[in-house]
Amino acid sequence: MSEAVDKFPDFSWDTLPLYVHIRKQDAFSDEEAKFLSTFPLITLEKTTGMGTYGCTETGSIKAAEKIKGHNPNAKVLFYRNVIINYTFYSFDGELDDHDDWILKDVNGENAKALSQGFKLYDLSQSEVREWWINKALEVCDNPAIDGLFLDGNLKVLDKHYLTRIAKIPEEKKAEVVEGWHQMMSSIHEALDAKNKLQLANIVRARLDDSGVSCLQYFDGSYLEHFESTEKKGLEMEYLEKSIAAVQKAAQSGKIIALTLGLGEPSAKADYDDMREKADDLAKLKPRIEYCVGLFLIVAEKYSYLNIHDGYDVNCDRSGKCRSKIWLKHLAEYDRPLGEPLGPAEKRGENMYVRKFEHVKVKVNIKQKRAHLEWSDPSIKEDL
């Protein structure tokens, strides 16, 4: 096995290959760390452990060490946003002396993102890029951290976000995009030399080529909003484009971490995916099967699935966990899968089919339904 593949997560077709994307401000308990260690690929989101340890980077390292204590082979990624200055890291204070490193809007004021008004890095400046890279490498040098999760790329590359939402000048946006490419090339080279993973939130149907060309900088892509578009009437076209993009990326050998949500998107969601109305798993069974079906029509070696009801596993004021499926293991995860017997086929306008050793998959993207025909009769009866 080559060094490049050596750093990749464990993978098997025996059962559904899984991914988890998670954040919790308090330290994970031993039970929680043991649960996380069962996943081959894990991203520890911003705010991880900062309530206990004071900052995200220390919280992430402590969590990774605890997870590795249960499973040394689990791959744990540290989260960094490439454009938004989230104030959850100890090194954020260093920017207090560098206001000139922050993007300015058309009025010369600090450009802001999201409802909290976070500042944005001016990636057109080499000093900013060097600082960002060095801080990421300092954390990734810890032996418990297997690589970097790079978020915020869509906000840089989107046609309108920086100009219409952050309100920066058009000419500055072009400079920021060029700086992003330079920074991604540099961090890729640095992490590759250390045999560390690089997973990015990069493949998205709304980009011109769905972001596939940018995978040159990364080992793979995390995916969110796989099914959804803000443009009414184009949902089917968007999903078909998403499917084609992931198939292309996966077939090229890239890691795919596909996240699909249960329930409804929360109106409170801002800086990551939050869900509502995901209390009754029995009622959600058709949705769970559809998520499994969607994944199986795009999956290749090193593709992983995350079915979730939000990444936030903090407790509310009453002590109740915000996630209804945290620490739960769905029955679908244990069913024999087997290797794919070929690529997925599209039949008609809405149907995709694919066969694996132990399951036949039919997915109707218009009806948002999947039929999974398992070869084990005892499992089939449970459908």
Q: What is the pLDDT of residues 120-147, one digit of tens each?
A: 999 999 999 999 999 999 999 999 999 9
Strand 112-113: give its sheet, edge to edge: 84-85, 118-120, 112-113
Q: Tens digits of per-residue pLDDT, 318-347? A: 999 999 999 999 999 999 999 999 999 999
> Quick check: 67 and 36 in contact, CB under 8 A?
yes
pTM confidence score: 0.94
Of 9-23, 86-100, 219-233, 259-273, highest mean pLDDT: 9-23
Distance (Å, whole) CA 310 – CA 312: 6
Instruction: Give me the domains of the chain, ranges plus CATH numbers.
Output: 3-335 (3.20.20.70)
Return all residues near 109 (Cβ < 8 A) that are at least 6 apart: none
Strand 147-151: give its sheet, edge to edge: 19-22, 41-44, 75-81, 147-151, 197-201, 220-223, 255-261, 303-308
Nearest CA to 169 among 206, 177, 114, 211?
177
Angle, vertex CA 324, rays to CA 150 and CA 27, nearest 5:
55
Q: What is the token pair recorded at 293?
A: 């079906």
Q: What is the token pair recorded at 116?
A: 């909290």
pLDDT given for residue 276 in this prediction: 58
Please give the backbone phi and psi of residue 376, each rounded to the nearest 5 degrees, phi first.
-80, 115
Burial class (CB in 10 A: 0-12, 13-18, 19+), 194: exposed
DSSP label at residue 331: G
Residue 265 pLDDT more than 80?
no
Cβ neighbours, 10 Å, residue 85 = 19
Q: Facing residues of 321 across strands? A: 315
pLDDT given for residue 93 in this prediction: 87
Q: Tens digits of per-residue pLDDT, 31-53? A: 999 999 999 999 999 999 999 99
Q: Higher-confidence residue: 272 or 201?
A: 201
Matching residue, tokens 């109707």:
364
Distance (Å, whole) CA 205 – CA 227: 9
Percent of the chain scored above 70 by pLDDT? 93
Q: For the chain, what is the total number of helices (H) and then of strands (E)?
A: 10, 17
Q: Higher-confidence residue: 281 or 206?
A: 206
Give the mean pLDDT of 351-376: 96
Amino acid at 282: A
Distance (Å, whole) CA 258 – CA 300: 12
Cα Rg, the chain, nearest whole Å: 21
What does pLDDT average to over the chain? Answer: 93
Q: Tens digits of per-residue pLDDT, 339-359? A: 999 999 999 999 999 999 999
Matching residue, tokens 């909290």:
116
Cβ neighbours, 10 Å, residue 278 = 20
Amino acid at 253: G
